[in-house]
Structure 1
Amino acid sequence: MRQILTFGAVGVVNTATYYFLYLIFLNALPYLAAHILAFVLSMVGSFFLNARFTYRTRPTWRKFLLFPLTNVTNFLVTTAGVYVIVDLLHAGSRFAPLIASAAAIPVTFVVSRRVMLPGSERESIA
Structure 2
Amino acid sequence: MIIAAILVCEAAALLAVAGWFLLGLITSTPMSLGGAIFMLVLLVLLAGWLLAVGHFFFRGYRWTRSAALVFQFFVAVIAIPALTAGVIWLGLLLLVPAVIMVHQLFTRPVVAYTSRTSDGTPML
Q: If the length of structure 2 is used for normalisation, what is the TM-score?
A: 0.36
| Structure of greater Rg | 2
Q: If the length of structure 1 is used for normalisation, what is the TM-score?
A: 0.36
